[in-house]
Chains A and B, each alone.
Chain A
Amino acid sequence: MTSTLYTRRQALRLGALGAGAAALSAACGGGAAGGSGKEIGIAIGYGISYAPFTIIQAKRWLEGELPDRTISWKIISGGGTVRDALLSGKLHLGCSGLGPLLIGWDAGVPWKIVSSLNDMPLWLVAKDPRFKSLRDFRQGDQIAAVQPGSIQSVMLQKAAQQQLGDPHALDKNIATMAHPEALEALLGGQIAAAYTSPPFQFQAVEQGARKLVDSYDLFGKHGFNVVAATEQYAEQNPDVLTAVHKVIARANDFITRQPAEAAKILVDAEKGKITAEQYEKYLTYEGIEFTTTPHGLVKLAAFMKEIGVIKKAPSDWRDVVFDTVRNENGS
């Protein structure tokens, strides 16, 4: 009897050991950042900022450049989450606004810009007529942004500094929301204001909201979203970086030259409520430029450092980019 008990106990122990080993190896396998596997994981977000990627996907340009790789596309909201996914090695290229990119770079995250996507004006919009300027916001009046530290949050801080004298006056009013949710919450009256991006800010205005802040008034024309990768991945996969930069440039050119065609592709890809005419209007909106070159990065970083969001700012925009865009005319 005892001997059978023994084997049972030993079997249990063996089983536990085996399960532990399996879990450990699974964890280690997943934890390897970088890697030069065949699969390329790319994350994009919500909005027409990612239109180049929609076109690249539809036309299968990246598959054309990298025939021996499989590409998996994901949608992830917020540069902070993208950063975590890149570091965990599950994702290889991800989009981030300049805010989270600089925060990560400042904290020592080994990531840099592969290519910019665009310059876009970012608007703070409110629907309730009570809100005419930032002065009208009280404690508890929530302002949606993708995350604290996002480029929209930084714009809000710049506007708060100008209008209220304290860049952090509205920090506690920020509510973390992805752009589509923010638009719905704004129109439904659940939040006071939303700091989103094109096309959500345009849609909000079309449905009765007003523009309170325009980021171009604060910083001039500036970059919005960029594609980032870890240094390790970039080192091991220079061909992927070159290809991605190349197809983005191609897509940007396509959008700029044939916005009507591009709008049709967006409509087909989304199957949403926005018509091709609307998309064309959004894509060609004054101030929107699809470009691979980061603009206004140094100015934005200097402000983030000034208000204590980051501790060090790059003195040269080339400090935070890979070779792919180093020779372009950035700022």
Chain B
Amino acid sequence: MPSSTDTPDAPDAPDVPDTPDTPDTPDASDASDTSAGAPAAAPPGARAADTGRGGTPWSRLPTWARRTVVFAALIAIWQAYASLSGVSRFVFVGPADVAEAFARGWANGDIAAATATTMRLLLTGMGIGIALTVVLTVPATTTRIGDDILTLLTSMINPLPSVAVLPLAILWFGLTDSALVFVTANAVLWPMTVNVSMGFRTVPATITMVGRNLGLRGWRLTRDVLMPAALPHAIAGLKTGWAFGWRTIIAAELVFGVAGAHGGLGFFINNSRYFARIPDVFAGLVTIAVIGIAFDLVFGWVERRTVGRWGMKEGAAI
């Protein structure tokens, strides 16, 4: 790469011919990623000069190295703010304290127990949500009245933020696990039905007709033809459903105080706050973030192993 491109002072000259900078490039942060994968030698240089000072060596680093540096810098800023700003340690704590609280919380089982409670509630809610999704979408695909019911229900309930039904759930179920499971099931159900019914609806007519020619009708047509064909949408729906459910259960637990015999992560955070254990509050948040990331990775992996591998990815609305 010519060194002249590195200097930000002369950006105009090399930039003109390559023109990867068409206005449809969404934003500057994407630039480094695309350049790393670009086959031609010239565009990365042009891009690097474009992204500013020291761009070239930075974008030549592997992704993990860049991310690690950014991560380390963020942690350093966090620690520096906590130790140098003079902020009260009952308002804000640094990463060292949080790491210690995180390790202690997992070692003595407090966070593990809270996580187990939250996961149990979430998975129960998701299980119910998935069952109801099948119950609602299959008739909607095969019958007109089912379709009408589903469309109406979805358009009425889907826009409602799922935690908004919590007061109603408390009224119906009291301050119990059932109320939390109810809001979680409600949170995962609607985004999933939207995705799954979209999947059913976008099954290519040819495939359906082949199925019909083989003599398949009703449930067998749904099970053997429509469901596999709608899989990319179903996985996307599951992913969205999980994301909604996860946010909802944590929010609901924060509202709730104690649910039944054991509190979940939301309760863990609130309880730590009541007892002025601020590092534990942060440790609870870190746990929530880590679990969120872990699940996203799992869904990504499932997606690659199934629809990605089977070449169905194009159909997925992700």
Contact = CB atoms under 8 A, between A and B. Distances in A.
Interface of A: 2-3, 5-6, 9, 12-13, 31, 33, 78, 80, 83-84, 87-88, 100, 103-104, 107-110, 139-140, 142, 147-149, 172-177, 185, 190-191
26 contacts: A3-B12, A6-B11, A12-B27, A31-B87, A31-B91, A80-B274, A80-B275, A83-B90, A88-B91, A107-B276, A108-B89, A140-B176, A148-B271, A148-B274, A149-B275, A172-B262, A173-B258, A175-B175, A175-B256, A175-B257, A176-B257, A176-B258, A176-B270, A190-B170, A190-B174, A191-B175
Contacts of B90: 83-84, 87, 104, 107-109
B214 interface: no
Contacts of A5: 21, 23
A31 B85 CA distance: 11
B274 A149 contact: yes
A108 B89 CA distance: 9
A35 to B, nearest CB: 13
Contacts of B21: 2, 5
Nearest to A111: B90
Nearest to B28: A9
Interface in B142-182: 170, 174-176
B3 interface: no
B273 to A, nearest CB: 6
Interface of B: 11-12, 15-16, 21, 23, 27-28, 87-91, 170, 174-176, 256-258, 260-262, 270-271, 273-277
A177 B273 CA distance: 15
Given A148-B271, A177-B257, A191-B175, A80 B12 contact: no
B87 to A, nearest CB: 6
Contacts of B256: 175-176
Q: Secondary structure at chain A's binding surface: helix, strand, loop or mixed?
A: helix
B312 to A, nearest CB: 37
B225 to A, nearest CB: 47
Nearest to A6: B11
A42 to B, nearest CB: 20
B165 to A, nearest CB: 17
A147 B276 CA distance: 13
Nearest to B177: A140
A99 B91 CA distance: 20
Contacts of A13: 28
Q: Which 6 A-B pairs have the closest CB atoms?
A: A176-B257, A107-B276, A80-B274, A190-B174, A147-B274, A87-B90
A266 B11 CA distance: 73
A142 B91 contact: no
Among A3, A9, A83, A88, the one with the most B-chain Cβ atoms within 10 Å of its Cβ is A9
Contacts of A110: 88
A36 B90 CA distance: 21
Among B27, B174, B256, the one with the most A-chain Cβ atoms within 10 Å of its Cβ is B174
A134 B262 CA distance: 20
B91 A172 contact: no
Contacts of A175: 175, 256-258
B276 A142 contact: no
Contacts of B270: 176
Nearest to B273: A80
B58 to A, nearest CB: 16
Nearest to A31: B87
Contact of A2 (B15, B27, B28, B88): B15
Nearest to A310: B275
B88 A191 contact: no
Among B11, B21, B89, B257, the one with the most A-chain Cβ atoms within 10 Å of its Cβ is B257
A172 B177 CA distance: 13
A52 B274 CA distance: 26
Contacts of B276: 80, 83, 103-104, 107-109
A160 B18 CA distance: 77
B65 to A, nearest CB: 24
A140 B12 contact: no
B91 A140 contact: no
A107 B277 contact: yes
Nearest to B25: A5
Contacts of B262: 172
Given A2-B12, A9-B28, A175-B175, 7 more contacts: A12-B28, A33-B91, A87-B90, A108-B90, A149-B274, A176-B270, A190-B170
Nearest to A142: B175
A172 B261 contact: yes
Nearest to B276: A107
A177 B28 CA distance: 48
A34 to B, nearest CB: 10
B28 A87 contact: no
Given A2-B21, A12-B28, A190-B174, A174 B277 contact: no
Contacts of B11: 2, 6
Contacts of A88: 91
A28 to B, nearest CB: 8
A84 B273 contact: yes
A109 B274 CA distance: 12
Contacts of B23: 5
A174 B16 contact: no
B158 to A, nearest CB: 29
A165 to B, nearest CB: 19
A176 B253 CA distance: 11
Given A33-B88, A175-B257, A176-B257, A100 B175 contact: no
B11 to A, nearest CB: 7
B292 to A, nearest CB: 24
A179 to B, nearest CB: 14
B261 A87 contact: no
B5 to A, nearest CB: 14
